[in-house]
Amino acid sequence: MFSLTVVDHIMVAHSFRGAEFGPAQRLHGATFIVEAEFRAPRLDHANLLVDIGLAKDELRKVLAAMDYRNLDEEAAFAGQNTTTEHLAFHIHGLLAAACKDGTLGAGGQGVSAIKVLLRESHVAWAAYEAEI
């Protein structure tokens, strides 16, 4: 299996509902390093998995909708706790759609799985990985 990873980051504000979140129930900020790993069993005719520039641009586009925003106020997250795990799942879905609809070019159509990893700090991170 081949893989190609692109990395970016976002800064968000959010709060959580539920006693299990303790002080994180209050509005707070978070900075996430976001890694998007695209996987495919074969390369294209030019020996590429996916165009790295297109992958980088699409990740930035997906993240721009969240960057420097209060996620509590975003319609896409209404009624959701925007945990690190949930954000990884959300980003995965958007990148999978971009592969399927041709946004990532012909190489994107050959992507069989994506892993999205969000690093919240040097000691804590979460990911979502699935076939597409």
pLDDT tens by residue, 72-110: 999 999 999 999 999 999 999 999 999 999 999 988 999
**Sign of the C-alpha dihedral, residues 56, 65, 122, 83?**
negative
The mean pLDDT value of the chain amounts to 97
CA–CA–CA angle 122, 94, 101 (5° rounding): 140
Structure confidence at residue 85 (pLDDT): 98
Average pLDDT over residues 15-19: 97
What are the distances in angstroms from CA 87 to CA 50, 74, 82?
Answer: 23, 13, 6
pTM passes above 0.95: yes
